[in-house]
Amino acid sequence: MTVAVSLQNVHKVYGTVPVVNGLSFEIQTGEMFGLLGPNGAGKSTTIRMLTTLTKPSDGVIQVAGFDVMRQRSRVKQRIGVVLQAVSIDSDLTVWENMEYHGRLHHLPKARRQNEIDRWLTYVELSDRRDAPAKTLSGGMKRRLQIARALLHQPDILFLDEPTVGLDPQTRRRLWEILRDLNKQGMTMLLTTHYMDEVEYLCGSFGVAQSANRIGIMDGGKLIALGTLQDLRQKHGEGLVVKQYSSSSGNAPSDRWDYQFFPTLDAANAYLDQQPDKTGMMTRPSNLEDIFVELTGRNLD
């Protein structure tokens, strides 16, 4: 597999404050790469550097084979970006938003019209092409953003929390769209605050059965990298969870302790040996357990 995105010892400093500190990783062509981290970990700054919106203070970033510092225009031609904030023009129709984007990328008229029709059909917005964008639901606006990002046929799609604020049913529909694009060979980098989203999209296989991977950032550094199965095997596939009840003032409170084991069978065997099993249970570990273990914080 060829490398679609490469970061080598990347730093970003604002004033005297390091936000990204020696970040290095690669994304393979056709991979769905999930980038996680608590607030302030440096994820958004990393996305901004990858999409040429912010210059790195040091290090080398290449996207689609081009240097983000020296070949910004070439990078922009090869990427699509879907940001958390809705960035469509509400005063334009669905079709006008697509037309405007196509003209910005200098697509010839015939190709532009074909691609608009193609992607509006793909995201199921053909019947709303003449509707003002401001009349769309939140999920429709996000689908329009995806269609617009794909209009110029980019090699790599960057998705910064693409389903935030959407209802569960709409999120699932967007997941299916993104997963289908990945199966067709689209390389993607995804940041999100939803653990189930990462497990669904990045816990599977990408193009040519290449395993998708997950990176976890904290303090501007990459502290874990691997497939979901790699991370579970490294930290433990089984958990013993114990609940402790206590009182804080007049209100009762609960505390949970988590103990990792190599397998669920090992966790069950440990539990069977305990003389007092009150408040204890076993279950398979998941990505959120690993994330909290590594960072000491929940994702949100």
User: What is the three-state SS of 218-229?
Assistant: ECCEEEEEECHH
Q: Does residue 114 sit in the same domain as residue 9?
A: yes
Q: What is the pLDDT of residue 3?
A: 94
Q: What is the pLDDT of residue 51?
A: 95
Q: Does residue 186 sit in the same domain as residue 275?
A: no
Q: Is residue 293 part of a domain?
A: no
Q: What would you report as the CA-atom Rg of the chain, rounded to the nearest whole angstrom? A: 22
Q: What is the pLDDT of residue 155?
A: 95
Q: What is the pLDDT of residue 300?
A: 47
Q: What is the pLDDT of residue 297?
A: 60
Q: Is residue 33 part of a domain?
A: yes
Cα–Cα distance between 260 and 253 in angstroms, integer? 23
Q: Is the pLDDT reported for residue 249 higher than 70?
A: no
Q: What is the pLDDT of residue 211?
A: 79
Q: Summarize pLDDT for 76-100 with one digit per residue, the tens.
A: 999 999 988 888 999 999 999 999 9
Q: Does residue 214 sit in the same domain as residue 96?
A: yes
Q: Does residue 127 sit in the same domain as residue 256?
A: no
Write the CA distances from 274 to 129, 236, 258, 262, 267, integer angstroms: 63, 20, 15, 18, 11
Q: Does residue 177 sit in the same domain as residue 122?
A: yes
Query: Residue 187: which pLDDT band, with cuts at 50, 70 and 90?
Result: very high
Q: Does residue 121 sit in the same domain as residue 253?
A: no
Rounded average pLDDT over 269-276: 95
- CATH code, 89: 3.40.50.300
Q: What is the pLDDT of residue 252?
A: 53
Q: What is the pLDDT of residue 91?
A: 93
| DSSP reduced 3-state for 180 | helix
Q: Does residue 121 sit in the same domain as residue 85?
A: yes
Write the CA distances from 222 to 2, 43, 44, 58, 217, integer angstroms: 22, 10, 14, 16, 4
Q: Does residue 205 sit in the same domain as residue 245?
A: no
Average pLDDT, whole number, for the chain?
A: 91
Q: What is the DSSP letter of 132?
A: B
Q: What is the pLDDT of residue 83?
A: 85
Q: Is residue 12 part of a domain?
A: yes
Q: What is the pLDDT of residue 299?
A: 47
Q: What is the pLDDT of residue 248?
A: 55
Q: Does residue 187 sit in the same domain as residue 52?
A: yes
Question: Element (H or E) spanning 256, and its range?
Answer: strand 251-261
Cα–Cα distance between 159 and 182 in angstroms, integer? 13
Q: What is the pLDDT of residue 159?
A: 94
75 versus 194: the higher-pLDDT residue is 75
Q: Is the pLDDT reported for residue 108 higher than 80?
A: yes
Contact yes or no for 157/174 (Cβ under 8 A): no
Q: Is residue 300 part of a domain?
A: no
Q: Summarize pLDDT for 222-238 with one digit per residue, the tens.
A: 999 999 999 999 999 99
Rounded average pLDDT over 136-157: 94
Q: Is residue 206 part of a domain?
A: yes
Q: What is the pLDDT of residue 209?
A: 46
Q: Is residue 294 part of a domain?
A: no
Range of the domain at 74: 3-233
* DSSP letters for 181-246: HHHTT-EEEEE-S-HHHHHHHHSSB-GGGPBP-EEEEETTEEEEEE-HHHHHHHH-SEEEEEEEEE
Query: Residue 208: which pLDDT band, with cuts at 50, 70 and 90?
Result: very low
Q: Does residue 59 sit in the same domain as residue 203?
A: yes
149, 83, 189, 193 alpha-carbon torsion, rounded to 10°: -150
Rounded average pLDDT over 124-144: 94
- Range with lowest mean pLDDT among 47-56, 202-211, 214-223: 202-211
Q: Does residue 86 sit in the same domain as residue 217?
A: yes
Query: Residue 65: which pLDDT band, with cuts at 50, 70 and 90?
Result: very high
What percent of the chain has a predicted confidence (pLDDT) above 90? 81
Q: Does residue 137 sit in the same domain as residue 275?
A: no
Q: Is residue 194 part of a domain?
A: yes
* Number of compact structural domains in the chain: 2
Q: Is residue 299 part of a domain?
A: no
